[in-house]
């Protein structure tokens, strides 16, 4: 055999010892794309002189984009052009005039963190596969729990607030009757949950998904500012009992979707305690106010909740998705409710303390490291930096209110989104046109 000449190894018509994949070429492509992103998304898109969106009707956009997935690959140049088009026609959610949703803006530390996690592509079910991100999630949950006012507790990150709300609903149901996990709902008395008329629509979706049924979600009246009326809650609970139904959960909202209202948590907690009902607080939007010493009074009483949903990807710009479900319970309720003890993941004979394998607390199997980007931002800015961010948002909202514009149906807090210093004089027109009569 000639020295240096390799004999090709064929199996099933495939060469197994052929030339290796060119990692450098791939890395060059990624670098080019990052350059593109830097110019078009990070720098340009935050410039008020650029457009928020490059509107095209769907049929036109389909033509312009060349979406078809073919049998053969494209050249690097063509691929870069495709990336350029994707960016060009996408809405710039970090633009100072983007107010459409409850998330906006671009936190650079979070983006840096997300670039890291995309390159590492971890799944945080077990310590062995994802040691760093699992510990980071633990640390972030601990801090969030502290903000809520609990000395200890439990929790998990979920793919969105809707899923957090669903998990809370299931947890409340499980505590009420653990047998439901095995036996299901067939033949049981009618379970009822209460939430405000201003609640997020995920409550209804959750009730249906969990087999409870949308008609068993009872809506409590709200006042002129969109806040739940505790007296009506009390009344509805009594009424439900008369009907032979079984109340098990109340969901209050801290920062409602349209009006930004904060339900009176202390009074609602009173009612729940009196009736032995699980209190869940959907603080997906408003939870972030907890980092502000000035504004956290809006969530006064939240420590009396059994569970809290809080999405830092909203007001704190952590990046989609970043949604935590926090649970006051310390008896491992989350794990008991969700665990399936799959033996290929959660073996008990591992060489480290398996209580670190938190994956069995989740409804998911593979799970993204959503806490990490939030942790990075928190490390960079500190609680005081985050507090500043929240205070700014509220101050800008107050500024909007002070403007000489005729306001009908004035909500207490309009969901205003953060944007850079340079845009302080920009008039914010957030959703008031939808809520006004």
197 sits near other proteins (criterion: CB under 8 A): no
Is 328 or 373 the residue whose CB approaches other proteins more closely?
Answer: 373
The DSSP code for 221 is P
343: number of CA atoms within 13 Å, CB side?
1
Report the Cα 2 to chain-centroid distance in Å: 61
Q: Can you read off the two tokens belonging to residue 385?
A: 């930096």
Segment interacting with other proteins, rule: CB under 8 A, options 230-238, 299-307, 405-413, 419-427 = 419-427
Find the angle CA(283)-CA(322)-CA(52) to the nearest 5 degrees: 95
Q: Choose which of 51, 175, 176, 180 interacts with other proteins (CB under 8 A).
A: 180
Q: Choose which of 243, 366, 410, 427 interacts with other proteins (CB under 8 A).
A: 366
Q: Can you read off the two tokens belonging to residue 123?
A: 């799944």
Pairing of the two strands 217-220 and 246-253: unpaired
52 sits near other proteins (criterion: CB under 8 A): no
Q: Can you read off the two tokens belonging to residue 381?
A: 């800015």
Q: Choose which of 91, 177, 395, 430 interacts with other proteins (CB under 8 A).
A: 91
Name the minimum Å distance from CB 62 to other proteins.
Answer: 6
123 sits near other proteins (criterion: CB under 8 A): yes
372 sits near other proteins (criterion: CB under 8 A): yes
Segment interacting with other proteins, rule: CB under 8 A, options 125-133, 224-232, 235-243, 292-300 = 125-133
If phi over 0 gives left and psi between -120 and 50 gives alpha, with beta otherwise, what is residue 105? left
Distance, CA of 138 to CA of 155 (rounded, Å): 9
Q: Which of residues 396-415 bind other proteins (CB under 8 A)?
A: none
Q: Choose which of 264, 385, 391, 430 interacts with other proteins (CB under 8 A).
A: 385
Find the angle CA(113)-CA(158)-CA(293) to the nearest 5 degrees: 70
Contact 261, 229 (CB under 8 A): no
Q: Which of residues 28-47 bind other proteins (CB under 8 A)?
A: 29-31, 33-34, 37-38, 41-43
- The 8 Å CB, 24+ separation contacts for 179-184 are 181/337, 184/211
Name the minimum Å distance from CB 183 to other proteins.
Answer: 5
178 sits near other proteins (criterion: CB under 8 A): no
Q: Which of residues 323-362 bind other proteins (CB under 8 A)?
A: 338, 340, 342-345, 347, 349-353, 356
Name the minimum Å distance from CB 297 to other proteins.
Answer: 20
Contact 187, 271 (CB under 8 A): no
Is 161 or 230 the residue whose CB approaches other proteins more closely?
Answer: 161
Q: Choose which of 1, 7, 16, 403 interacts with other proteins (CB under 8 A).
A: 16
Segment interacting with other proteins, rule: CB under 8 A, options 97-105, 223-231, 261-269, 396-404 = 97-105
Q: Choose which of 97, 145, 157, 162 interacts with other proteins (CB under 8 A).
A: 162
127 sits near other proteins (criterion: CB under 8 A): yes
Segment interacting with other proteins, rule: CB under 8 A, options 220-228, 231-239, 260-268, 365-373 = 365-373
Distance, CA of 317 to CA of 340 (rounded, Å): 34
Q: Can you read off the two tokens belonging to residue 13?
A: 């018509």
Cβ-count burial of 259 within 10 angstroms (0-12 exposed, 13-18 middle, 19+ buried)?
A: buried
What dihedral do alpha carbons 29, 71, 366, 117 form, nearest 10°? 10
Contact 150, 414 (CB under 8 A): no
170 sits near other proteins (criterion: CB under 8 A): yes
Segment interacting with other proteins, rule: CB under 8 A, options 63-71, 302-310, 327-335, 399-407 = 63-71
Q: Choose which of 176, 177, 221, 258 interacts with other proteins (CB under 8 A).
A: 258
163 sits near other proteins (criterion: CB under 8 A): yes
429 sits near other proteins (criterion: CB under 8 A): no
């Amino acid at each position: 055999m000639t020295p240096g000449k390799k004999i090709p190894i064929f199996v099933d018509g495939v060469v197994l010892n052929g030339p290796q994949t060119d990692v450098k070429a791939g890395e060059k492509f990624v670098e080019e794309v990052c350059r593109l992103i830097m110019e078009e998304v990070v720098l340009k898109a935050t410039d008020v002189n650029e457009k928020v969106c490059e509107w095209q009707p769907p049929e036109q956009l389909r033509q312009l984009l060349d979406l078809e997935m073919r049998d053969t690959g494209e050249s690097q140049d063509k691929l870069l052009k495709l990336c350029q088009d994707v960016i060009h026609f996408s809405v710039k959610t970090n633009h100072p005039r983007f107010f459409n949703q409850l998330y906006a803006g671009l936190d650079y530390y979070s983006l840096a963190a997300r670039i890291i996690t995309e390159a590492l592509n971890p799944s945080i079910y077990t310590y062995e596969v994802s040691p760093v991100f699992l510990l980071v999630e633990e640390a972030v949950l601990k801090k969030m729990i502290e903000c809520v006012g609990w000395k200890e507790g439990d929790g998990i990150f979920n793919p969105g607030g809707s899923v957090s709300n669903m998990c809370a609903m299931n947890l409340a149901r499980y505590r009420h009757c653990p047998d439901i996990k095995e036996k299901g709902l067939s033949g049981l008395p009618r379970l009822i949950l209460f939430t405000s008329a201003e609640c997020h629509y995920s409550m209804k979706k959750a009730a249906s998904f969990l087999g409870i049924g949308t008609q068993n979600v009872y809506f409590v009246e709200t006042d002129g500012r969109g806040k739940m009326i505790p007296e009506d809650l009390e009344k509805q609970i009594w009424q439900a009992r008369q009907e032979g139904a079984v109340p098990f959960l109340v969901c209050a909202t801290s920062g409602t979707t349209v009006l930004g209202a904060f339900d009176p948590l202390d009074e609602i907690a009173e009612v729940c305690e009196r009736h032995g009902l699980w209190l869940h607080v959907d603080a997906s939007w408003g939870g972030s106010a907890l980092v502000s010493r000035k504004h956290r009074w809006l969530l006064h009483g939240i420590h009396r909740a059994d569970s809290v949903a809080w999405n830092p990807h909203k007001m704190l710009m952590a990046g989609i998705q970043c949604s935590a479900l926090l649970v006051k319970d310390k008896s491992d309720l989350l794990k008991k409710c969700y665990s399936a003890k799959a033996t290929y993941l959660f073996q008990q004979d591992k060489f480290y303390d398996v209580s670190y394998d938190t994956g069995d607390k989740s409804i998911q199997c593979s799970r993204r490291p959503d806490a990490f980007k939030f942790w990075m931002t928190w490390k960079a800015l500190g609680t005081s930096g985050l507090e500043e961010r929240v205070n700014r948002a509220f101050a800008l909202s107050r500024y909007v209110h002070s403007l000489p514009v005729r306001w009908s149906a004035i909500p207490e807090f309009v969901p205003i989104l953060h944007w850079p210093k340079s845009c302080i004089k920009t008039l914010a027109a957030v959703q008031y046109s939808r809520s006004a009569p």
